[in-house]
Amino acid sequence: MKNIVICGLSSRALSMFIKPLMERFSAHYQITGLLDADPKRFAVCKKKFPELARVPEFNEDAFDEMMRVSKPDIVIVTGRDDTHVTYILRSLQWDTDVITEKPMVTTVQDANRVLGA
């Protein structure tokens, strides 16, 4: 079983990542942490997926705490496009696999930073 955290609870996160994880891949993956800047999104997510009721919630400033508590094997980045680079780089610092929605990053400089990491 692999542990996954979700950084950003956008509607895309719910439909393209969380839904398939819960409905098709739950035998192999479990969501162990949720991170978002807007506390209302946690409620929306957990209403749509009641199985996540006990999954810890973290605000955007608590990334390192989320990593310590949730012990993810994989970080899925689905927040605002301008936050992708931060979560990708921080995940790589934790030596964790990262999956991100597109765009991966928003500038050439950020793409080079990710490639360098």
Q: Mind listing the pLDDT tens digit for each residue in 63-88? A: 999 999 999 999 999 999 999 999 99
**Whether CATH 3.40.50.970 fits 2-116:** no
- pTM assigned to the model: 0.95
Query: What pLDDT shows up at residue 97?
Result: 98
CA dihedral 10, 90, 50, 15 (to 10 degrees): 40
- Tell me the residue type at 44: V
Query: What pLDDT shows up at residue 74?
Result: 98
- For 104, counting Cβ atoms within 10 Å of its Cβ (0-12 exposed, 13-18 middle, 19+ buried), the class is middle
At residue 93 the predicted structure's pLDDT band, cuts being 50, 70 and 90, is very high
